[in-house]
Amino acid sequence: MRRLNYDTLNIIVAVQRLRSFMIADSAIREAAGHESPSWFKSAESYYSEIPDCVMKVAGLHKNRSDFEKVLNFEVTDEMLKTNHNKLSIFEFPADDRDEYRAETGVVAVAS
């Protein structure tokens, strides 16, 4: 598992809220008889455009696995109310590449 931090939580919230917005917007567009964009493609595009420096601090990769983990992660009220410097008490699913370690919250160095 990876420890949650302020950047990770902000990315998760932004992507999930974008998904919610795009789904609602699509329903409105469809009701008006207009074509609606894919919420998945829009959210995936947004995720892939997050600056690499922010992704590194967040401990996330720009791959499908982490993107889906971000989409499916359950953000609780407790997380949203926790002081940002104490978010490490919460865990985010493991890094498939094992580059970001939960114990320290730092990037692992390949030997």
Domain limits of the chain? 2-92
What does the pLDDT look like over 4-57, one tens digit per residue?
999 999 999 999 999 999 999 999 999 999 998 899 999 999 999 999 999 999
What is the tens place of the pLDDT at every residue in 54-82? 999 999 999 999 999 999 999 999 999 99
Residue linked to tokens 């922010």: 54
pLDDT level of residue 102 (50, 70, 90 thresholds): low
Q: Which class for 100: exposed (0-12), middle (13-18), buried (19 or more C-beta within 10 A)?
A: buried
